[in-house]
Chain A
Amino acid sequence: MSAQSHAAGIHLTDLQKTYNKTPVIPGLTAELAAGEFTVILGPSGCGKSTLLNMIAGLEKVSGGKIMIGSREVQNIAPKDRGLAMVFQNYALYPHMSVADNIGYALKVAGVPKDERTSRIQTAANVVNLGDYLDRRPSELSGGQRQRVAIARAIVREPQVLLFDEPLSNLDAKLRHDMRMELSSLHRRIGATSVFVTHDQVEAMTLADRILILNHGRIQQFDTPHNIYHKPANTFVAGFIGSPPMNLIEAQASNGAVSVGGVRLAATEISGDVTVGIRPEHIKVTESGIPVHVAYREDLGSHSTMVVEMENGQTLRLATQLGEPIRGGEWVHITIPEDKLHFFNAATGDALRSN
């Protein structure tokens, strides 16, 4: 099944959603390229599911335009938009067999039985469920159910595939396996994919580009690499990474930025500034800034710590295993100047990222 030729880009122009006069999405413009895997990432209540449902046609648009390919779709029914969707709770029809679940859309569309059977078989083989066609959803495990849902979505060879947190009901190991499968599936069928999640690991691993949403506004829409290394504002900086980036209220004057009297770096700016530093970039060294280890967690591959500077400023840091540090100890840390991020203290927007 090669749906590469079917893939269509999605253009959102000033898209708005208002519930009872409360704007959930005040006006959103974005361009999702054909065949691209876009992950919409944000905290709960940020409007990401609303956005997906509007693209799907499951929720009415309050204003603006949605284009799929060259068609304006915001006022047409979900079934006529050429898209398929995978839901968080699978949304399988419990009274139908796996084959009937996968083939329901074809049946509704009036596809002849022979063609239907072969397309169901092909789609089921793609997700390795070829031997389960006669089962009922209740006889399948969570991972298998989600695969049925994926087969049901790809059987129609849609231009656009929508995923609404499809992995959040699975356990950690299964989630990892499904992530790999989804990634290779996307490379094979090539449909434009939009994937909603609150899990940054899913976003970082699956996405060609990540659209980070907060309060219905795009915070950053960029590749995973740029999202991580060049966060556009303090929200993105604090949302991505585990543990998240340290954001420190600092003062810049006389060509240097410092926090509570401790000099961090040379700078041309002056006044209040928010300085960001990722926990894994802070090094424990022989000499440097003395800190008190308030809390330490050993995670096997690495350990994370919360340390406190003499002026009371706390920092999170992550070290490679092997640092023989115990909680309560005093150690020295070095903050590399070239790893610092600078944000406008008032607006949170990035000033200069190294």
Chain B
Amino acid sequence: MSNRFYRNKWLPLWLASPQLVVLFFFFYLPVFLAFFWSFHLERPFGGGSQFVGWQNFERVLSDPEFWTSLWRTLTYMVVASSTSIICALVLALAADRGIRMSPLARNVLIWPKAVAAASIGVIFLFIFNPFMGILAPLNEMFPGFWNPRINPVHTWIMIYIANIWSAIPFTFIILLTGLQSIPDTLHKAAAIDGAGPWRRLFDIQLPLLTPQLFIVVVLEIADSLSGSFALIDTMSQGGPGGATNLLVYKIYVDGFKAYDLSGAATQTAMLMIVVAAVTAFQYLVVEKRVKYER
């Protein structure tokens, strides 16, 4: 921060303090506590903690349920972020092309952004209810055709659809903005150069959209690791039979239902390390292929 602009040394800090206070209490302090607790044995109802070294980690890492849940989480990360980004990209391309009704679609598509993930979960749970939802008539014709309460594949389909629906608005707007910042004359030049719409998509639009694609991938991946909680909690509670028990939900159950605070904190620390590693990989490796030139 240049002191030439701010004569007073403390003024910049003073101006930034509201943000810093919020960040400290809601981000740095919890992160610190998670790591602190992961090296201590915590009493569930408070009252002191006992340093236990790596024992919590040994316990968590030797639990097969942790590894299953971590693997499930990584699968969810890949599938959830790619499906939601691809859907948003298709919609953004359609809106950018100026297809009929696209001004209306552009407006309507932003609405889900205003709905909390938990509400989305409840709504989709109702929509996909095997007895009352949209697929209920099929269940009457073919009994057992659709039941997300007992069939894990159906449960996942339901969760992915809810996730795509909730992720589209933000991703769509970012991608549409990126597409619209590509000058119209580039399309014209490419059209005269002989490139049809598909060729232009791969040669012109997607390469020039990489800055926006990169940022939505980073955000969607981070969101899929932690933001899936509300959907799981409202739609499946980790079921059926633990099939949708993602790490973020397992942490909640272990900590607040089973009162294993240390185990939950240790898994939280592990999850944070995974998020940090994935994000670092994206910035260090993937970003090299982003084309920022304009």
B102-137 Cβ-contact flags toward A at 8 Å (1 or 0): 000000000000000000000000000000000000
Chain B residues contacting A105 (CB-CB under 8 Å) are 192-194
| A108 interface contact, C-beta 8 A | yes
How many residue pairs link A and B with beta carbons under 8 A? The number is 64
Report the Cα distance A78→B208, complex, angstroms.
23
Whether the pair B293, A58 counts as a contact (CB closer than 8 A) is no
Whether the pair B192, A58 counts as a contact (CB closer than 8 A) is yes
A77-110 Cβ-contact flags toward B at 8 Å (1 or 0): 1110001110111011111000000001100110
Whether the pair B183, A91 counts as a contact (CB closer than 8 A) is yes
Q: Which of A91, A137, A138 has the most CB of B within 10 A?
A: A91
Report the Cα distance A78→B194, complex, angstroms.
7
| B185 interface contact, C-beta 8 A | yes
Whether the pair B193, A104 counts as a contact (CB closer than 8 A) is yes
Which positions 278-330 of chain A face chain B at CB distance < 8 Å? none
| B287 interface contact, C-beta 8 A | no
Chain A residues contacting B192 (CB-CB under 8 Å) are 56-58, 78-79, 83-85, 105
Q: How many residues of B contact A (CB 8 A)?
A: 19
Whether the pair B183, A58 counts as a contact (CB closer than 8 A) is no
| B199 interface contact, C-beta 8 A | yes
Report the Cα distance A83→B203, complex, angstroms.
21
Whether the pair A108, B195 counts as a contact (CB closer than 8 A) is yes
Chain A residues contacting B188 (CB-CB under 8 Å) are 56, 58, 78, 85, 87, 91
Report the Cα distance A102→B186, complex, angstroms.
14
Q: Which of A57, A88, A95 has the most CB of B within 10 A?
A: A95
Which residue of A has the minimal Cβ distance to B210? Answer: A95
Q: State the Cβ distance, B199 to closest chain A Cβ, in Å.
A: 6
Chain A residues contacting B77 (CB-CB under 8 Å) are none
Whether the pair A108, B193 counts as a contact (CB closer than 8 A) is yes
Q: State the Cβ distance, B165 to closest chain A Cβ, in Å.
A: 32
Report the Cα distance A137→B185, complex, angstroms.
15
Which residue of B has the minimal Cβ distance to A84? Answer: B192
Whether the pair B207, A95 counts as a contact (CB closer than 8 A) is yes
Which positions 190-217 of chain B face chain A at CB distance < 8 Å? 190-195, 199, 203-204, 207-208
Report the Cα distance A87→B203, complex, angstroms.
19
Which residue of B has the minimal Cβ distance to A104? Answer: B193
Report the Cα distance A152→B188, complex, angstroms.
14
Chain B residues contacting A198 (CB-CB under 8 Å) are none
| B9 interface contact, C-beta 8 A | no
Report the Cα distance A147→B294, complex, angstroms.
18
Report the Cα distance A116→B191, complex, angstroms.
19
Whether the pair B191, A91 counts as a contact (CB closer than 8 A) is no
Which residue of B has the minimal Cβ distance to A90? Answer: B185
Q: State the Cβ distance, B290 to closest chain A Cβ, in Å.
A: 10
Q: State the Cβ distance, A217 to closest chain B Cβ, in Å.
A: 26
Whether the pair B291, A95 counts as a contact (CB closer than 8 A) is yes
Chain B residues contacting A152 (CB-CB under 8 Å) are 189, 193
| Residues of chain A having any CB pair with chain B under 8 Å | 56-58, 77-79, 83-85, 87-89, 91-95, 104-105, 108-109, 136-138, 152
26 A–B contacts, CB within 8 A, in A order: A57-B191, A58-B188, A58-B191, A78-B191, A79-B191, A79-B192, A79-B193, A85-B189, A87-B188, A88-B185, A89-B183, A89-B185, A91-B183, A91-B189, A92-B189, A93-B186, A93-B203, A94-B291, A95-B207, A95-B208, A95-B293, A104-B203, A105-B192, A105-B194, A138-B293, A152-B193
- Top 10 nearest A-B pairs (CB, nearest first) are A79-B194, A105-B193, A91-B185, A91-B189, A95-B291, A108-B194, A94-B293, A95-B207, A138-B293, A87-B185
